[in-house]
Amino acid sequence: MEKVVNFSQIDKIVQKLRSTKKTIVLAGGCFDILHFGHLKFLEQAKKQGDILIIALESDENVKRLKGQNRPINKEKPRAANLLKTGFVDYVVILPISKTDASYLNLVKAVSPDIIAVTAGDPKLSQKQEQAKTIGSQVKVVIDRLLGFSTSQFLNNI
C-alpha cells in the first residue's frame, strides 16, 4: 500500500484503518529541513495513537507561507524523509490552497481521533474548531523547542 498519498486517496485508507479500531492521529506542517524539533514532535504525536498521518504542505503552499526561496526540499523528498523517521505511517500531500477550507476537508476525510499540535501553534483556534466539527480533540504534544526552526536556521547561514 502506498504511504505517500494525495487528498483523494486518503478516504479509502482511513476506511480500512477505521475497521481495525486503530486510533488515528493527524498532524501537519511544512517539514522543509527535518530537524530535532520536528523529530521530537513526530515522536510525541505518534505516542498519542496507533497511526500517524501527516498533512504535508505542497511546494506551492510552502512558497506562499514561507517565502519565494522555499521550500528547500521538494514535497516528494520531504514526504520520504518523514516516512524514514519511523514515526509516520502516511503522508498526505495537501492540494494547493489559500484557504482553511481544504484543511477542514482533510480533517473531515481523515476524521482523526486526535489532532496533534505544538504549544503556541498559530492555527490552534482553527484546529480546535475543526476538531469540534468532527468530535475529535486537539492535543498539545510538545512545547516549542527554542533554537529548532528551519526559518531561523536558514537566516543564520
Which tens digit of pLDDT belongs to each residue from 38-52?
Answer: 999 999 999 999 999
pTM (whole model) above 0.85: yes
> From its phi and psi, is residue 95 left (phi > 0), alpha (psi between -120 and 50) or beta?
beta
> What cell was used for 101?
477550507
- pLDDT for 157: 55
The stretch 56-66 carries a mean pLDDT of: 87
CATH of the domain at 9: 3.40.50.620
Number of H helices and number of E strands within the chain? Answer: 7, 6
The domain tally of the chain equals 1
Task: Write out the residue range of the structural domain in which residue 132 sits.
Answer: 4-155
Sheet holding 137-142, edge to edge: 4-6, 90-93, 51-56, 24-29, 114-118, 137-142
